[in-house]
């Protein structure tokens, strides 16, 4: 069992190191390839305007790339590693990745890149902006990895795992979920540079719109681990027939 580990918080993240340590006991090979800096929100971007390097970090079997999470997994799988991983894991992200967050998340994107390259993949996120409950997250990672190695949920899978930031004893179990929905994002925050030029900070994500039972939002609110199966298909099959009718009426 060979496991590739990546993230979007960057090579210095305690969550990345915890994930690598958590999966080590399951694998003959564990290699970490992570962005050299925090690339949260990078989504599925690839770097096309400059070359990428893969350099060794101080930690054993750990490397950093001057690129995005997607770059890391892409370069590792298609050129850097001498073997094809059996599993790609990403995280442990500082902050949850629920509902539409999955579209912007570099954590999910790193896993998704593995999935697109034919490798089962799992993204792990901790639902707090700190690593105070990293022990809980590590425990969850090990249970999930043990589970998928014992019996894969399907031949090819992409899972988005979100972990409540609570002490292990307060965890209320595990739940398979669907993505919830958010309202549209908050506006950008307008400010000025020291030289008077207008600047804009991207604002916070939108408030929760669908957090009904069965959603990832609901599971996390109930202090349960949320496991959402993801797919990669932006196509909207249900809209095809009405669009065909629209096309017939085109002036
Ligand atoms: Mn992140």
pLDDT in tens, 113-141: 999 999 999 999 999 999 999 999 999 99
- Taking the centre of ligand 1 as the mean of its atom positions, its distance from the CA of residue 242, in whole angstroms, is 39
Residue 180's pLDDT is: 97
- Taking the centre of ligand 1 as the mean of its atom positions, its distance from the CA of residue 39, in whole angstroms, is 7
pLDDT tens per residue across span 53-90: 999 999 999 999 999 999 999 999 999 999 999 999 99
- Taking the centre of ligand 1 as the mean of its atom positions, its distance from the CA of residue 9, in whole angstroms, is 4
- Taking the centre of ligand 1 as the mean of its atom positions, its distance from the CA of residue 91, in whole angstroms, is 8
Helix (H) or strand (E) holding 220: helix 216-221
- Taking the centre of ligand 1 as the mean of its atom positions, its distance from the CA of residue 40, in whole angstroms, is 4
- Taking the centre of ligand 1 as the mean of its atom positions, its distance from the CA of residue 156, in whole angstroms, is 25
5 near 35, Cβ under 8 Å?
A: no
b or e along 43-52 (b: 16 or more beta carbons within 10 Å of the residue's beta carbon)?
bbeebeeeeb
- Taking the centre of ligand 1 as the mean of its atom positions, its distance from the CA of residue 83, in whole angstroms, is 27
Which of 102, 103, 55 is closest to 75 using CA atoms? Answer: 55
Which of 232, 220, 222, 234 is closest to 98 using CA atoms? Answer: 220
As a whole number, the mean pLDDT across the chain is: 97
- Taking the centre of ligand 1 as the mean of its atom positions, its distance from the CA of residue 213, in whole angstroms, is 26
- Taking the centre of ligand 1 as the mean of its atom positions, its distance from the CA of residue 238, in whole angstroms, is 33
- Taking the centre of ligand 1 as the mean of its atom positions, its distance from the CA of residue 145, in whole angstroms, is 21
- Taking the centre of ligand 1 as the mean of its atom positions, its distance from the CA of residue 20, in whole angstroms, is 16
Rg (CA), the chain: 19
- Taking the centre of ligand 1 as the mean of its atom positions, its distance from the CA of residue 241, in whole angstroms, is 39
Residue 213's pLDDT is: 98
- Taking the centre of ligand 1 as the mean of its atom positions, its distance from the CA of residue 94, in whole angstroms, is 6
Q: Is 118 helix (H, G, I), strand (E, B) or coil?
A: coil
Strands (E), 172-247: 174-176, 181-182, 189-192, 198-201, 208-210, 225-229
- Taking the centre of ligand 1 as the mean of its atom positions, its distance from the CA of residue 35, in whole angstroms, is 11
Mean pLDDT of 189-213: 95
Residue 147 is encoded by which pair of tokens?
A: 């589970």
Residue 112's pLDDT is: 98
Tell whether pTM > 0.85: yes
- Report every protein residue that has its C-beta within 5 angstroms of ion ligand 1: 8-9, 40, 93
């Amino acid at each position: 069992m060979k496991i590739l580990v990546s993230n979007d918080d960057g090579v210095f993240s305690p969550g990345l190191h915890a994930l690598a340590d958590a999966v080590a006991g399951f694998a003959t090979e564990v290699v970490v390839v992570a962005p050299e800096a925090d690339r949260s929100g990078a989504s599925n971007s690839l770097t096309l305007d400059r070359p990428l390097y893969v350099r060794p970090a101080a930690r054993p079997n750990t490397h950093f790339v001057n690129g995005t999470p997607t770059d890391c997994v892409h370069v590792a799988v298609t050129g850097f590693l001498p073997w094809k991983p059996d599993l790609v894991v990403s995280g442990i992200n500082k902050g949850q990745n629920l509902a539409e967050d999955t579209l912007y998340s570099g954590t999910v994107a790193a896993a998704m890149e593995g999935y697109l390259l034919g490798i089962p993949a799992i993204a792990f996120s901790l639902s707090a902006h700190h690593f105070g409950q990293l022990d809980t997250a590590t425990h969850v990672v090990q249970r999930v990895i043990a589970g998928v190695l014992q019996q894969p949920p399907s031949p090819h899978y992409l899972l988005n795992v979100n972990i409540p930031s609570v002490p292990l004893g307060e965890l209320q179990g595990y739940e398979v979920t669907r993505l919830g929905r958010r309202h549209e994002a908050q506006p950008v925050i307008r400010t000025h540079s020291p030289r008077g030029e207008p600047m804009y900070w991207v604002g916070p994500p939108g408030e929760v719109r669908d957090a009904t039972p069965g959603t990832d939002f609901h599971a996390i609110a109930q202090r349960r681990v949320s496991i959402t199966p993801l797919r990669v298909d932006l196509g909207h099959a249900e809209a095809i027939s009405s669009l065909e009718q629209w096309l017939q009426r085109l002036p």
